[in-house]
Amino acid sequence: MSVPISDLKPLLAAVAAGRHLSETEAEAAFEIIMSGNATPSQIGAFLMALRVRGESVDEITGAARIMRAKALAIEAPPGTIDTVGTGGDGSGTFNISTASALVVAGCGAPVAKHGNRAFSSKSGAADVLAALGVNIDCDMEIVQRCLWEVGICFLMAPRHHSATRHVAPTRVELATRTIFNLLGPLSNPAGTRRQLVGVFAPEWVRPIAEVLGRLGAEHVWVVHGSGIDELTTAGTTTVAE
């Protein structure tokens, strides 16, 4: 399907009709969206059409490739890990992945914690760290030094993914889970190839693991624990490695 880079309408029509996009078509769609060439109405309709029909591995992979290509990257030490959840599980739990990142770093593993303020959950990583007094808006040079010298840093998603500014107002207004909940954990600006990723529903464990494999992951766990996007000790956890 040949799509003008400035026009989302044919792809929106395809998704609205229930058709799954190819990886290449998904790349085209998200290039349009993240270049500011789609209207808020088109973005909202596209995101919700994907949500209602269900996003495919090809669509998520294509979107993640565009997110990564447009990211402001930093250099990370070998073996750097990210602990991250999609949010959107509706459980109202505290931000467990941020707490676990501090524990992992304390054990000596470098952690590039990638996150944002809450969109569809009670609190995001940025909300937690800001409340603790962390300067989440410090210079990029300081962020990179923290990772290399201290062993942990926080990568504030909007600063590294400025192209998502075209989507942020629509996400806030929708106030529900969209494909961007899935894309955040797939788009760490430090290029982490080792991750622990929590997803909001068990049916997403295997697809997200497959996407990460396509994107060159080295070692990841994708998990869902009894209704939350975390590992849990209070029930069954589904894991794809």
Percent helix, strand and coil across the chain, each to the nearest 5: 45, 15, 40
| H or E segment to which residue 49 belongs | helix 40-53
pTM of this structure? 0.89
Is domain 9-70 classified as CATH 3.40.50.300? no
Percent of the chain with pLDDT over 70: 93
pLDDT score recorded for residue 136: 92
pLDDT score recorded for residue 3: 43
Per-residue pLDDT at 1 exceeds 60:
no
pLDDT score recorded for residue 117: 81
Q: Residue 99 is encoded by which pair of tokens?
A: 């707490």
Q: Are 70 and 27 in contact (CB under 8 A)?
A: no
Q: Do domains 9-70 and 81-240 have the same CATH topology?
A: no
Q: 234 CB contacts (<8 Å, ≥6 apart)? A: 225, 226
Closest C-alpha to 180, from 49, 64, 45: 64
Q: CB pairs under 8 A, 24+ apart, for 142-145?
A: 143/74, 144/74, 144/75
pLDDT score recorded for residue 176: 87
Segment 82-115, tens digit of pLDDT: 999 887 666 767 778 889 999 999 999 999 999 8
pLDDT score recorded for residue 194: 97
How far is the C-alpha of 63 from the C-alpha of 133, rounded, in Å? Answer: 33
Higher-pLDDT residue of 177 and 123 is 177
Closest C-alpha to 83, from 195, 226, 8, 218: 195
The CATH code that applies to domain 81-240 is: 3.40.1030.10
Q: 54 CB contacts (<8 Å, ≥6 apart)? A: none
Per-residue pLDDT at 123 exceeds 80:
no
Identity of residue 164: T
Q: What is the dihedral of CA 120, 227, 219, 117, to 10 degrees?
A: 20
Mean pLDDT of the chain: 92
DSSP secondary structure code for residue 171 in this structure = H
Domain boundaries, the chain: 9-70, 81-240
Which residue is associated with the tokens 């990886």?
23
Per-residue pLDDT at 239 exceeds 80:
yes
Q: 3 CB contacts (<8 Å, ≥6 apart)? A: 10, 11, 25, 28, 29
3-state secondary structure of 230: coil
Mean pLDDT value across residues 201-218:
97
Count of C-beta atoms within a 10 Å radius of residue 85: 29
Closest C-alpha to 178, from 30, 11, 65: 30
Q: Which residues pair with 223 in a beta bridge?
A: 198, 239
